[in-house]
Structure 1
Amino acid sequence: MTTQHPPVQNATGTMPPGADPAGDPLAAEPVVAGRSPARIAWNRIRRDKVTLVAFVVTVLFIVIALLAPVLTALTGWGPITPDGRAINPDTGNFPRGSLGGISAHHLLGVEPGTGYDLFARVVHGLRTSLLVGFASAVLSTVVGVVAGLAAGYSGGWVDSVLSRVMDVMLAFPQLLFIIALTPVIQNALQTNSHGGTDENLRLLVLVLNIAVFAWAYTARLVRGQVLSLREREFVDAARIMSAGRAHILFRQLLPNLWAPILISFALAVPQNITTEAALSYLGVGVVPPNPDWGSLLSDASQYFLQDPMYLFIPGVLLLVLVLALNLLGDGVRDALDPRAART
C-alpha cells in the first residue's frame, strides 16, 4: 500500500513541471496578483483611447520644447534671426510665395514685416508657454497643498482665517488683476541697461502673479479632503503613538491626497498656459521680439487678411496643446476616481 502525498508547489505558488494537479483542487485556480492604485490608474488610461492620444500629444509637445535649440539649429534659423530675402518689400514686406512663405528653408513660413522664421519662433514660444504653465502650476499646487493641510487639520481660528483668505482669492477677477499688477511690478524691477526688465525676471514675475491667484483652488480641494481624513482610524492611531503634527500632516495625510492633488495639477497647467498666452496677447506678458504664442497671435491678428497662415499656425497649435492637456487631465481624473469600476 502506497501513501499519497499532496502535490508540492514551488516558492512562486505554481506547480513544478510534470506535477499532477488532480490531487489538489486548489492547484488549478489562478493566482490573483494585487495591483496598486497607480497600476490600476495606468491600466485605465491605456484603455482610454482619447486619454492615451492626449498623453502622446502632450509628451510630443514637451519633447519639441526641450529640443527647441537643437531643432532650430538644424533649420539654420533662430527665433530672432531675420531673413530679408524671404519677404518682399514691394508688397509691404509680406512673405514671398504662397501659404505665408512656407518652403524647404522655412518649414512654417516667415513673419510678415520682420522675416523671422515662424518655425523657430513657434518652438521657442512653446518653451515659454510650457515653462510658465508648469512652473506656476507647481508653485500654486505646493502653496495650495500646504494651506489646505493646515486649514483642514488645524480647524478653529486657523481654518477660519485661511478659509476667508481662500474666499477672497477666489472672488478676485484673476485676469484683470494680473493685467494690472504685472506691468507695475516689472516697471519697478528695471534691471537692464535699456531701462527695461530682464526677460528671466519678467517670466518669474509672470509665474508668481499667476500662482498667487491660482493656489486657492487647490487649497480648497485639499482642505475638504483633510476634513474627512483627519477623523480616520490611522490618524487617531498616530496621535495615540504621540506622533507630531508634521508627521501626521506629511506622512499620514499627504500620501492619501496624491490623487486629488495630481488631478488639480493636471487641470491647472492648461489653464495657466491659456492665461499666459492671454497676457502676452494683451502686451503684459513676454515682450517682443522674444517668442511667445500669445504675442504671435497678437501680431498675426494685424495681418490676417494678407497672411492668414501667420495666425492659423500658432492658433491651431495652441488649441491642440490646451485641448490635449485638458483631455489628459480629465482622463487622469477618471482613472483615479475610486468609485469607478476596478478594471
Structure 2
Amino acid sequence: MSAQIAGPETVGHLTDQAPPPDPSSTKAKEIAGKSPMQIAFGRLVRDKIALFCAFVILVFVLVAVFAGVICSIFGVTTDTVFASEYVDGLTGMPLTGPPLHGFDPNHPFGLAPQTGEDNLAYWVYGCRTSLSIAFMATVFASSVGIVLGLLAGFLGGTTDRIISFFTDLFLTIPFLLAALVIAPIISERFAASDHYKQIQFWNLVAVLSIFTWMGTARLIRGEVLSLREREFIMAARVIGMPTRRILVKELLPNLAAPIVISISLMLPLFVAAEAGLAFLGIGVTSGISWGQTINKAVTFFDTYPLYLWEPTLGIVALCLALNLLGDAIRDALDPKTRR
C-alpha cells in the first residue's frame, strides 16, 4: 500500500490563524487608517445638532446670496415708496397686514410703520449685509492672526517680543470704545463721497478686523511653540528647508484644527457686533441692516412687536446656529473627546 504524500503545511495550519483579509474587502476598509480630519468629519456627520445648525446656516447663506431673487419671487422691493399709500397718516400704522389687520400675502412680513417699507425685503438684504461684513472681517482678522502667530511662535526672540507687545497693546483697547471713536470719524470724513455706502462697509470691516485678531494670534502662537520642537520640524531645519516652506508646508497643515475652531467662533461674534454697532448708529447707517431695523423698531415695541422680533430672531437664530456648530467642530477636532 503506497503511502499518502501530505502537502506542504502553511503558516496558517501551524498557528491556526485566519489569513489576512482581502485589501479590497469591506472589513479591510473599516480597519484602514484614517487621518485626524477624516475622523473629525465622521464625528461631525454623526452629530445631529451640528447637521441641523449647518442646515440653518446654509439657509441664511442662500437667503443672503439670492436676496434679489427672493424679493422678485415675493414681489417685494426696498425701493422708496410713498408712505401715504401704505400707512395711516394719523397713527403711522400700516393700512394692511399686522398689527391692525390680517395677513397680507403681498407683504408676508408686513410693512414698516410711518415709512411703509416692506419688512421682508429689508430682512433679506439685512441678512446679506450681516453675513457679508462678518465673512470679510473674519477673513481679514483670521489672516492677520494666523500670520503673526506663526511668525511669533516659530521665529521667537525679538520678533516674538515685538508681536507680543502689539498683541497686548491692542488687547488693552476696549473694542466698543474704539469703534465709537474711529467709525464716526471715518464716516464723516467721506460723507460727501459718491461711494459712501462702500466706504462705510469697508470702514466697519476694518474696525472689526483691527481689534479682534489678537485672540487668533495668541492661539496660533501657543500651538506653534509646541510644534516647533517636534521631530519633523527639527528634520526640516537640518536638511536646510527654507523658513517660508516650513511655515506653509509643515506647520500650517498641523494648525487646521485651531484655525477652524477660531473661525467658527469668530463669525457669530461679528454678526452680533455688526448688528449692535448699527443699532448704536455707528455701523451701516446708509444701507440696510438688521441693527438699523431694530433701532427703528424699538419705539414701536408696544404697538407693533412683530416689527422688532423679525430682525431680532434672525440675529439670534444665525448666531446660535454658528455658535453650536463651532462647539460641535471643536468637539469633533478634539482627540480627547468621546462624543
Q: Do structure 1's residue 314 and structure 2's residue 311 form an aligned pair? A: yes
Provide the rounded CA distance (Å) in 2 between the counterparts of 1:36 and 1:107.
Answer: 48
Q: Is the 8 A contact 1:100 1:110 kept in 2?
A: no
Gaps of 5+ in 1: 7-22
In structure 2, the CA distance between the partners of 1:92 and 1:189, relative to structure 1 (3 Å rule), is closer
Deviations 1:110-160 (A, max 9, x none): 111111110010010000000001110110000000000111011111111
Q: 2:324 pairs with 320, 323, 327, which one?
A: 327
Report how far residue 227 of structure 1 moved.
0.4
Measure, in 1, the Cα distance between the counterparts of 2:246 and 2:188.
Answer: 44
- The separation in 2 between residues aligned to 1:227 and 1:96, in whole angstroms, is 63
Contact 1:82 1:117 survives alignment (8 Å):
no
1:133–1:276 CA contact under 8 A, matched in 2:
yes
Does residue 177 (structure 1) correspond to residue 178 (structure 2)? The answer is: yes
- Whole-angstrom CA distance in 2 between matches of 1:44 and 1:315: 32
2:74 is the alignment partner of 1:48: no
After superposition, the Cα gap between the structure-2 partners of 1:185 and 1:317, relative to the gap in structure 1 and judged at 3 Å, is: same
Which secondary structure does the structure 2 equivalent of 1:248 belong to? Answer: helix
- 1:338 CA displacement: 2.0
Q: 2:18 aligns with which of 25, 47, 69?
A: 25
The aligned amino acid for 1:42 is: F
Equivalence for 1:11? none
Give the drift of 1:2. Answer: 7.6
Instruction: State how many pairs are aligned.
Output: 323
SS in 2 for 1:87: coil
Alpha carbons 2:96, 2:104 under 8 Å: kept: no
User: What is the alpha-carbon distance in structure 1 between the residues aligned to residue 96 and residue 257 of structure 2?
Assistant: 52
Inter-partner Cα distance in structure 2 for 1:65 and 1:229 = 39
CA distance in 2, matches of 1:238, 1:97: 68
1:79 equivalent in alignment to 2:84 = no
Provide the aligned C-alpha RMSD in A. Answer: 2.1
User: 1:62 is matched with which residue?
Assistant: 61
Q: How far off its partner does 1:28 sit?
A: 6.0
* Residue number in structure 1 paired with 2:13: none
Correspondence 1:221-260 to 2 at 5 A = 221-260=219-258
Shift of 1:87: 2.0
- Cα 1:183–1:43, aligned 2, differ >3 Å: closer, same or farther? same
Q: In the alignment, what sits opposite 1:118? A: 119
SS of the equivalent of 2:247 reads: helix
Q: Which amino acid aligns with 1:227?
A: L
Q: Hey, what's the Cα distance between the residues in 2 that align with 1:82 and 1:330?
A: 44
Give yes or no for contact 2:80–2:117 (8 Å, CA) kept in 1: yes
Give the CA deviation at 1:96.
3.1
Q: Give the AA of the match of 1:311.
A: L
Q: Distance in 1 between matches of 2:19 and 2:96?
A: 78
Distance 1:58 1:307 in 2: 28
User: Shift of residue 27 of structure 1?
Assistant: 4.6
* Runs of 5+ consecutive residues of structure 2 not aligned to the other structure: 11-15
Deviations 1:155-174 (CA, angstroms, capped at 9, x unpaired): 11111111111111112110
Q: Partners of 1:158 and 1:284 in 2: how far apart?
A: 36
Deviation at 1:79, TM superposition (A): 2.0
Between 1:165-174 and 1:27-36, the stretch displaced more is: 27-36
Identity among equivalent positions (%) equals 37
1:285-336 residue CA offsets vs partner (Å, 9 max, x unmatched): 1114x21000010000011111110001111111111111111111111111
The whole-number CA distance in structure 2 between the counterparts of 1:215 and 1:185 is 21
Match of 1:138 in 2: 139
Distance 1:186 1:334 in 2: 41
Which letter maps to 1:96? Answer: T
Relative distance call for 1:94 and 1:104 in structure 2 (3 A) is closer
Q: Give runs of aligned pairs for residues 78-117 of structure 1, distance below 5 A.
A: 78-82=77-81, 84=83, 85-99=85-99, 102-117=103-118
